[in-house]
Structure 1
Amino acid sequence: MSGGAGARDRTDGTRAPDRIDASAAVRLAVLASATFVYVTFEVFPVGLLQDIARDLDVPAGRVGLLISGYAVVAAVVTVPTVALASRVSRGTALVVSLLVLVVAEVLAGFATSFAMMVVSRVAAALTHGVLWSLIAPAAATLVPRHRVGTATAAVFGGSTLAAIAGSPGTTLIGELIGWRATALVLAAATVAVTVGLVWALGLYGPTRPAAAGTPGTDAATGDPDGTAGAGRRGAHWPRVLTLCAVAVVLISAHFLSYTYFAVLVTEVTGSSAATVGLLAVFGCAGAVGTWLVGRYNDTAPRRTASVTITVFAVGVGLLAVASVLDGGALARGTAAAVAVALWGGAFAAAGPVFQTGVMRLAGQEADRASSVYVTGFQIGIASGSALGAALLGRSALWLPVTSTVLVALVLLVVLVRRPVPTAEVPAKQDDKDAPDDQHAEVRL
Structure 2
Amino acid sequence: MSGTEVAREKERERERERERERIDAPTAARLAVLASATFVYVTFEVFPVGLIADIARSLDVSAGRVGLLISGYAVVAAIVTVPTVALASRVSRGTALVVSLLVLVAAELLAAAATSFSMMVVSRVAAALTHGVLWSLIAPAAATLVPRSRVGTATAAVFGGSTLAAIAGSPGTTLIGELIGWRATALVLAAATVAVTVGLVWALRPRDAARQETGQPQGTTAPETARGAVHWPRVLTLCAVAVVLITAHFLSYTYFAVLVADITGTSGAVVALLAVFGLAGAVGTYLAGRNNDTAPQRTAVVTIGVFAAGVALLALSPALGSAAVRGAAAAAAVALWGGAFAAAGPVFQTGVMRLAGQDADRASSVYVTGFQIGIAGGSALGAALLGHSSLWLPVTSTALVAAVLLAVLVLRPVPAAEAPTHS
Provide the residue aligned with 1:436 in structure 2. none
SS of the residue 1:422 aligns to: coil
Distance 1:92 1:29, change over 3 A: same
Q: Distance in 1 between matches of 2:368 and 2:220?
A: 21
User: Do the aligned residues in 1 keep the contact of 2:307 with 2:337 (CA within 8 Å)?
Assistant: yes
Provide the residue aligned with 1:372 in structure 2. 366
Provide the residue aligned with 1:146 in structure 2. 149
Q: Which amino acid aligns with 1:393?
A: G
Provide the residue aligned with 2:5 in structure 1. none
Q: Distance in 2 between matches of 1:311 and 1:428?
A: 35
CA-CA distance at 1:19 after TM superposition: 1.3
Q: Say whether residues 1:362 and 2:356 are aligned partners.
A: yes
Residue-by-residue CA offset, 1:321-377 (whole Å, 9 max, x unaligned): 111112x11100000000000000000000000000000000111000000000000
User: Do the aligned residues in 2 keep the contact of 1:37 with 1:162 (CA within 8 Å)?
Assistant: yes
User: Do the aligned residues in 2 keep the contact of 1:145 with 1:228 (CA within 8 Å)?
Assistant: no
Q: Distance in 2 between matches of 1:419 and 1:332?
A: 36
Provide the residue aligned with 1:207 in structure 2. 209
User: Do the aligned residues in 2 keep the contact of 1:141 with 1:226 (CA within 8 Å)?
Assistant: no
Distance 1:226 1:245, change over 3 A: closer
Any stretches of 5+ residues in structure 2 without a counterpart?
Answer: 1-15
Pick one of 344, 349, 367 that aligns with 1:350.
344
Aligned pairs for 1:205-284 (under 5 A) are 207-208=209-210, 217=216, 223-225=218-220, 231-284=226-279
Pick one of 81, 98, 101 that aligns with 2:101.
98
CA-CA distance at 1:231 after TM superposition: 1.6
Provide the residue aligned with 2:89 in structure 1. 86
Q: Which amino acid aligns with 2:39?
A: F
Distance 1:146 1:216, change over 3 A: farther
Q: Distance in 2 between matches of 1:96 and 1:161?
A: 23
Please give the root-mean-square deviation of Cα atoms over the aligned residues, in Å. 1.7
Q: Distance in 1 between matches of 2:200 and 2:225?
A: 24
SS of the residue 1:389 aligns to: helix
Q: Say whether residues 1:341 and 2:335 are aligned partners.
A: yes
Q: Distance in 2 between matches of 1:53 and 1:228?
A: 52
Q: Distance in 1 between matches of 2:54 and 2:224?
A: 47
Pick one of 48, 53, 73 that aligns with 2:51.
48
Q: Distance in 1 between matches of 2:235 and 2:86?
A: 17
Q: Distance in 2 between matches of 1:60 and 1:399?
A: 22
Q: Say whether residues 1:319 and 2:314 are aligned partners.
A: yes
TM-score normalised per structure 2: 0.93
Provide the residue aligned with 2:7 in structure 1. none
Q: Which amino acid aligns with 1:362?
A: A
Aligned pairs for 1:279-290 (under 5 A) are 279-290=274-285
Q: Say whether residues 1:391 and 2:393 are aligned partners.
A: no
Pick one of 73, 87, 111 that aligns with 1:108.
111
Q: Distance in 2 between matches of 1:227 and 1:26?
A: 24
Aligned pairs for 1:149-168 (under 5 A) are 149-168=152-171
Provide the residue aligned with 2:12 in structure 1. none
Distance 1:381 1:284, change over 3 A: same
Residue-by-residue CA offset, 1:242-268 (whole Å, 9 max, x unaligned): 000000000000000000000000111
- The percent identity for this pair of structures is 80
Q: Say whether residues 1:60 and 2:49 are aligned partners.
A: no
Residue-by-residue CA offset, 1:368-398 (whole Å, 9 max, x unaligned): 0000000000000000000000000010000
Pick one of 179, 183, 199 that aligns with 1:180.
183
Provide the residue aligned with 1:10 in structure 2. none
Q: Distance in 2 between matches of 1:366 and 1:174?
A: 38
User: Do the aligned residues in 1 keep the contact of 2:140 with 2:220 (CA within 8 Å)?
Assistant: no
User: Do the aligned residues in 2 keep the contact of 1:229 with 1:364 (CA within 8 Å)?
Assistant: no
Q: Which amino acid aligns with 1:242?
A: T
CA-CA distance at 1:143 after TM superposition: 0.1
Q: Distance in 2 between matches of 1:111 and 1:229?
A: 49
User: Do the aligned residues in 1 keep the contact of 2:98 with 2:200 (CA within 8 Å)?
Assistant: yes
Pick one of 276, 282, 288 that aligns with 1:293.
288
TM-score normalised per structure 1: 0.89
CA-CA distance at 1:207 after TM superposition: 3.2
Count matched residues. 406
Aligned pairs for 1:13-32 (under 5 A) are 17-32=20-35
User: Do the aligned residues in 2 keep the contact of 1:316 with 1:404 (CA within 8 Å)?
Assistant: yes
User: Do the aligned residues in 2 keep the contact of 1:148 with 1:228 (CA within 8 Å)?
Assistant: no
Aligned pairs for 1:184-195 (under 5 A) are 184-195=187-198
SS of the residue 2:21 aligns to: coil
Q: Distance in 2 between matches of 1:229 and 1:93?
A: 27
Distance 1:226 1:29, change over 3 A: farther
User: Do the aligned residues in 2 keep the contact of 1:35 with 1:158 (CA within 8 Å)?
Assistant: yes
User: Do the aligned residues in 1 keep the contact of 2:247 with 2:374 (CA within 8 Å)?
Assistant: yes
User: Do the aligned residues in 1 keep the contact of 2:139 with 2:155 (CA within 8 Å)?
Assistant: yes
Residue-by-residue CA offset, 1:72-110 (whole Å, 9 max, x unaligned): 000000000000000000000000000000000000000
Q: Which amino acid aligns with 1:333?
A: G
User: Do the aligned residues in 2 keep the contact of 1:146 with 1:228 (CA within 8 Å)?
Assistant: no
* Structure whose residues are more often helix by fraction: 2
Residue-by-residue CA offset, 1:177-230 (whole Å, 9 max, x unaligned): 000000000000000000000000026x993579xxxx865xxxx712566766
Pick one of 381, 389, 402 that aligns with 1:408.
402
User: Do the aligned residues in 1 keep the contact of 2:221 with 2:353 (CA within 8 Å)?
Assistant: no
Q: Which amino acid aligns with 1:199?
A: W
Any stretches of 5+ residues in structure 1 without a counterpart?
Answer: 1-13, 430-444
CA-CA distance at 1:15 after TM superposition: 5.2
Provide the residue aligned with 1:74 in structure 2. 77
SS of the residue 1:63 aligns to: helix
Q: Which amino acid aligns with 1:370?
A: S
Q: Which amino acid aligns with 1:241?
A: L
Provide the residue aligned with 1:121 in structure 2. 124
Q: Which amino acid aligns with 2:84?
A: T
Q: Distance in 2 between matches of 1:251 and 1:226?
A: 26
Q: Which amino acid aligns with 1:275?
A: V
Q: Distance in 2 between matches of 1:209 and 1:83?
A: 21
Q: Which amino acid aligns with 1:422?
A: A
**Runs ≥4 in structure 1, deviation > 3 angstroms?**
205-210, 225-230
Q: Which amino acid aligns with 1:279?
A: L
Provide the residue aligned with 1:4 in structure 2. none
Pick one of 288, 303, 308 that aligns with 2:303.
308
